[in-house]
Amino acid sequence: MKQFLKYVFATVVGIGLWTLLACVIMLVSLIGMAASEGQTASVKKNSVLRINLTGAIEERAQEINPLTILMGEQYETLGLDQLLAAVEEAATNEKVRGIYIEVGSGFGGATPAMLQELRQALLKYKESGKWIYTYGDIYSESAYYLASVADKVVVNPKGIVDWHGMASVPVFFTDLMKKLGVKMQVFKVGTFKSAVEPFINTEMSEPNREQVTAYLTSIWNQYVAEVGASRNLTAEQLNALADTLTAIRPTELLLASGLVDTLAYIDGFKEMLRTKLELKDKRPINFVSPADLAAAADKKDEKGRVAVYYAFGDIVDKAASNPLSTGASYIETMPTIRELQKLRKDEDVKAVVIRVNSGGGSAFASEQIWHEVQLLKAEKPVVISMGGMAASGGYYISCGANKILAEPSTLTGSIGIFGMIPDATELLTEKLAFHFDVVKTNKYADYGAPSMYGMMGRSFTADEAALMQAEIERGYDLFISRVAEGRGISKDSVDAIGQGRVWTGEQALKIGLVDQIGNLNDAIAEAAQLAELEKYSVDTYPAPPSFMDQFMTQKQESYFDEHIKTTFGEFYPMLTTMQWMMQNRRFDQCVYARIPYDLKVW
């Protein structure tokens, strides 16, 4: 019996050790896989750059976090910077014959301006004489906008092209909050500052409806003009097709209307590619990824450098203050200031391009970053390249630069300030039957305490509300002063185009909020010209975190965050923004220069 137990114990220990060893080997393998992502694969002759449009497009490519793979949380993201570099390299690399855009059914995460910049790069690539083919089972409108630039657009015989126009569908919480016994105490300046509307209205105000109609029409007209030029279709034809709801029409209509060139299953499409490449004997197609092709590009190493600093995400005093911040991008005050200081003191950096893609956030943080940009500008030229949006706080940090460039569909402006503080008095005292009291030595001793947030059973007094509104008005006056100084126009003129109104880049150019329409490369060229550089290198900042940094700092909450993201879907960005804003409890942290939450264009 003892001998039997000894063998059983030895077997259990052995299985445990092997299991532990297997886990270690798997983890090491995953880390190795992630590490290999940064290595350059050789580009073979007769290669095709394959761009897989699945998931979301973000400003910058990030290394894969091995822990997220292990937890099964990795989701597809594409770096716009990497895509642009790969397309540019494909045009001149003799080993690359063409580009294959593979449209996945889950593609959709990108702003119109980001898509516009990528589409421009594809059009410039076509000037090389090389081809673009695209295939998909389901083309979302965003995917089709990109794919329409191709020489051959192919869809599955039972597939979909969803060309339907644009809509903005805000959600209003006012009646829900009323049922819960919570009301929002709102302070704002700006007729068009609509970020507060979901909490105080049950429908869009007329000024908000006016501005949304204006910028949606501007962006849609750009889409129609660009797609029409590529597909040889008129605006009337494309609008008529949008009104037919193509997503649920037979694919034969797509072919007959000129939206697509061919119907084929994936195997048939691959044969088209093989024929185009003149491949024989069933030899495989040499696909190369954007990451590998971008890494293969020759990098100039000149002493004169133009720095591109990426600033994207919500502007916050401290990113860690957001409990749902895992995996999100933020423009955090002190890290941003420290990076800009380094660029200011680096004598090899002759000019700086700040790539802004932000709907704003904390008004206080925006002012601090604006100040640092002014210090940088005093030492060397600063050019702003606006991405998907550079609005409210995003415009605040941009307005003092030497030059501002935007895409035609960039969302910008939104010059306005607001504050929101929830009052849960009814919920706590009437529905939950809490009772509160207070002892204080002075009139405003509890101002800024939890009582302001309904946590102790009272809302603002009339005096406190007046003081808060005055603070908001001072913030707005400072904002328009910064814009007036930076743009060289009067405060009255800024106020007339301010008031919280959102403009597209196309509109902003006409009213003087931006200097010219252009992409990131245009901004880099402008910065080099201002610095009088004939030859220069381009470096990007801040350095992205390595896979090991991500692995060591990965938050435990990320697992739950991914499930929240899956559950709430399109409402997730609004949820994270609301959570961040609601948990800032000091009154000085409740003043925002922000665009209306997540401007989702359908």
Query: Could you give the residue numbers annotated as active site?
Result: 193, 392
Q: State CA 201 to chain mean position distance.
A: 27
DSSP state of 428: I
Q: What angle do CA 369, 372, 375 make, to 5 degrees?
A: 155
542: preceding bond cis by omega (within 30 degrees): yes
Tokens of 485: 């100084």
Contacts for 111 with CB less than 8 Å, ≥ 6 apart:
357, 387, 388, 389, 409, 411
CA-based diameter of the chain, in Å? 96
Answer whether 311's CB lies under 8 Å from 358's CB.
yes
444/384 Cα distance (integer angstroms): 43
**φ, ψ at 225 (rounded to 5°):** -65, -40
351/344 Cα distance (integer angstroms): 9
Per this entry, what is the length of the chain? 602
Answer whether 366's CB lies under 8 Å from 590's CB.
no
Tokens of 244: 């037919």
DSSP state of 249: S
478/366 Cα distance (integer angstroms): 11
Tokens of 29: 């393998």
**φ, ψ at 369 (rounded to 5°):** -70, -40
Phi-psi region of 392 (alpha: psi -120 to 50; beta: other; left: phi over 0): left
> What DSSP element (H or E) covers 160?
strand 152-161
